Amino acid sequence: MDDERGIPTEGNRVTFQDDHCFVCGKENPIGLHLKFELDRENHKAGSSVIFTKDHQGWDGVVHGGLLSSVMDDVMAYAVMTTDNLAVTTHMSVTFRKPVLVGEKLYLEGEVVKLTRRTAVTRAVAYVHDDASDDGRIVMVEAEGTYFLDKPRGG
């Protein structure tokens, strides 16, 4: 059964029903409460976030662990567009530039390979910049492998 976002809520081993995810859970009082847009046809997901001073590591700079968390979620949501829940088995994050507190950060994730048991993903986080060639500056990149909770075709 899908919830209002059109994603599965129950797998073989994991569920996504209590809405307390730190990144996206509406019921988590200290969470980020991100909302994701889904492109089910292309297995992509997107969101945006503005971190506050409560989310900093170094003065004025967003903590890398929180950046890793939002990258993990945007990739996981991309996997959920395949009608499956999944758990992260591997994730690699590259921090290109420091993300500053108060900057609006855009997140995009996609599934690049799907097998019977796993999904391979990649994600990018960027800020808008009219001076750059494509209107954005990449701040963080990530790649991930997710173990599918329900094998495809099985």
- Per-residue pLDDT of the chain (154 residues), as tens digits, is 233 456 777 777 677 766 889 999 999 999 999 999 999 999 999 999 999 999 999 999 999 999 999 999 999 999 999 999 999 999 999 999 999 999 999 999 999 999 999 999 999 999 998 777 788 999 999 999 999 988 776 5
Q: Is residue 18 part of a domain?
A: no
Provide the CATH number for the domain around residue 63.
3.10.129.10
Q: Is residue 5 part of a domain?
A: no
CA distance 117 to 154: 10
C-alpha R_g of the chain: 15
CA distance 56 to 18: 27
b/e 9-47 (16+ beta carbons within 10 angstroms → b):
eeeeeeebeeeebebbbeeeeeebebebebeeeebbbbb
Q: Is residue 59 part of a domain?
A: yes
Note down the domain range covering 83: 37-148
CA distance 80 to 47: 14
> How many domains does the chain fold into?
1
Q: Is residue 53 part of a domain?
A: yes
Amino acid at 97: K
**Residue 33 and residue 70 in contact, taking contact as beta carbons nearer than 8 Å:** no
Q: pTM for the complete prediction?
A: 0.90
